[in-house]
Amino acid sequence: MLTYRHTSIEDLPKIEEWISKDPSHAGVMKGSDFVLLPDENGEMPKGRQCIEVKDENGTVFFVHLKQALIMEVQFPPTPEDHTRRAHQVRVMRSTEEMVNYFKFAGKKLGHYAMFFQSISTPLIEFCKNHLGFDKADDFFKVDL
């Protein structure tokens, strides 16, 4: 049976040793990525958990869990008349304002990122070119 414990400053030497021996993480991650430490204002980070996972033989691994926002949007149909362009501008401006609002509010609540999934080339290009989204090829998801 596994047990779970919040990491502490005392775990840093072991974590740093493990990172130094991991070619995928050495030079990229730090031991402090797996221990919640106060920021420059003395505040503990929100929306994060750093956990040691143990079994009967000791520490199996350390995990850093971060909260993220996943955006799913349903847009209205685009009119096929003279109001088409005004409609598109309205949707684009509203999308930009909404994303900027939740980027600010989400960060305050402790979310570290916002994701969206789409196969719509125009939406993907708009989000990349105007909203600051980057394609994330190395993320995998499981629904909870």
Write the pLDDT tens digit of every residue in 43-90: 888 889 999 999 999 999 999 999 999 998 988 889 999 999 999 999
Q: Which of 86-95, 102-111, 134-143 has the lowest mean pLDDT?
A: 134-143
Burial of residue 54 (CB within 10 Å: 0-12, 13-18, 19+) is middle
How far is Cα 42 from Cα 61, in angstroms, rounded to an integer?
A: 27
